[in-house]
Structure 1
């Protein structure tokens, strides 16, 4: 029993002596680590200050500042451990960190992918906070760009969270990337109306709207000879190119053009129409496509005159009456 107590006491004394021997190194390592923590906080503040001229600086500065702070703290931790345990080499720490990084990478692959994509989006800025974008079936205003996902607010008041990896690897339409935006609308007029007059009236209607830019100037182009109308495309530019301004200018342009063409100048705005030909199937030319009224005559053949359905019905009634009378005579 006394031997066991002596052995335990000897081990305790060995640990205490080792701790006392390492105490100066531990104190030095703590002092260095505290200094590195202070340096890391200053580096974080410096990075945030350097990125404050960007519109997305709130997220970019925060992310880059945290990264710089984390890397600095990690380096400080390596230095502190090397001071406390002199036998521990930096290569061993790097090797351990590499193995751990691979394991973490496999376990959190999607999270790391979104994180790296978020960093690249914040750095390259293909779109910024308050931009209006279209991604696949979603359209709205960018509210926030986080390291994991980008949040947009749709025009009808819903929130959409899109992973950054999808935004970075797919096409995104940025409607507010430039100061100006061109809009267009097709309007059909009747074939009997004067095209050049209609085009001038459309330009006059567009120029009467204050929101429409004079430079670049609006224009009108004949686009198609459609089945029941001549389609003319009106194009105009607005500033700023936001959704509300888009809808407002479109409303004013279409209303002004309809008033100018149809109400004030009587230019037809036709509906889609169809021509239906009725054939009573009682003509001598039935079956001869070159001579039927609803067919296109071949060559210079004479086109048969149209018959009224009422006349055909009268002829049928007379023929039936004759048949009945002949039957009575025979009987």
Structure 2
């Protein structure tokens, strides 16, 4: 028992001597680490001040500042460890960090991809906070650009969270990228109406709307000779180009055009369709003497065509006194 206690006591004394020997290195290492930690905080503040002129400086400054601070603190940690433990080389730490970085990269690939995409979005600014964008069927106002995802608020009050990697690698439509935006709408007029006179009326209606910009000036173009109408495209510019202004201008422009054309007797036709029901087979195809629209073939003599009024009149005659159809009479007629 005494021998075991003696061995234990020797080990404790050795540890104390080693600690006393390393104490100056530990103190120096802590001082160096504290210096790097303080420098990292100062770098973070400098980065925030440098990005203050951007619209979303809060997000960009916070991300880049934390990244610069983390790198500075990590370098200070390596230097401090090399001071405290002289046998530990910085190259060994860098090698260990590289191996760990590869493993972490595979494990958190999506997270790192979104993080890098978020930094690039904040730096390149393809869109900014409060911009109105369209992405894969989602449309709304950008609320926040974070390191992992970007959030947009839809026009009906919902929040959409989109990963930054998706936004950075796919097409995004920014509706508010410029000060003004052009809108358009197609109006159909009758084939018998005067096209030049109608275009002049549409331009007068456009100039009467206060939200329509005069520079660039609105224009009216004939676009299509459709089945039931001549389609004329009306184009105008608005400022600002936000969703609310878009809807407001459309309401005023379309209402003004409709009122102007109706007052001047311009026809606004609607589609007209004529439907013919054929009971036509290969045997009767092309033989008009054996087949008529809406009449089954193979029933003997082909009847003469009847009007809709005549058919309804005959149907009324087939009703009995109770207002019901006589099935035997109907069968004989058919």
- Above 0.5 in TM-score? yes
In the TM superposition, what are the counterparts of 1:1-331 in structure 2 within 5 Å?
Answer: 1-262=1-262, 264-275=263-274, 287=288
Structure 1 residues 308 and 22, CA gap change in structure 2 (3 angstroms): closer
Runs of 4+ with >2 A deviation:
274-278, 307-310
Shift of 1:309: 5.6
Q: Distance in 1 between matches of 2:26 and 2:110?
A: 39
Displacement, 1:274?
2.9
Q: Distance in 2 between matches of 1:88 and 1:276?
A: 90
Against the structure 1 CA distance between its residues 9 and 309, is the aligned structure 2 distance closer, same or farther, given a 3 Å change threshold?
closer
Give the 3 Å change call, closer, same or farther, for CA 13–274 of structure 1 in structure 2.
same
TM-score, with normalisation over the residues of structure 2? 0.83
Count of aligned residue pairs for this structure pair = 290
Q: Tell me how large the CA RMSD over aligned residues is.
A: 2.3
**CA–CA distance in structure 2, aligned partners of residues 161 and 276 of structure 1:** 49
Secondary structure of the corresponding residue to residue 153 of structure 2: strand
Q: Which runs of 5+ in 2 are unaligned?
A: 278-286, 293-304, 312-334
Counterpart Cα distance in 1 of 2:160 and 2:215? 36
Gaps of 5+ in 1: 279-285, 293-306, 314-331
State the SS of the aligned residue for 2:265.
Answer: coil
Task: Measure, in 1, the Cα distance between the counterparts of 2:288 and 2:41.
Answer: 96
CA distance in 1, matches of 2:288, 2:252: 55
Cα displacement string for residues 40-73 of structure 1 (whole angstroms, at most 9, x for unaligned residues) = 1000000011001111111110000000000000
User: How far 1:129 moved relative to its partner?
Assistant: 0.5
SS across alignment from 2:142: strand
Residue 276 of structure 1: how far off its partner (Å)? 6.5
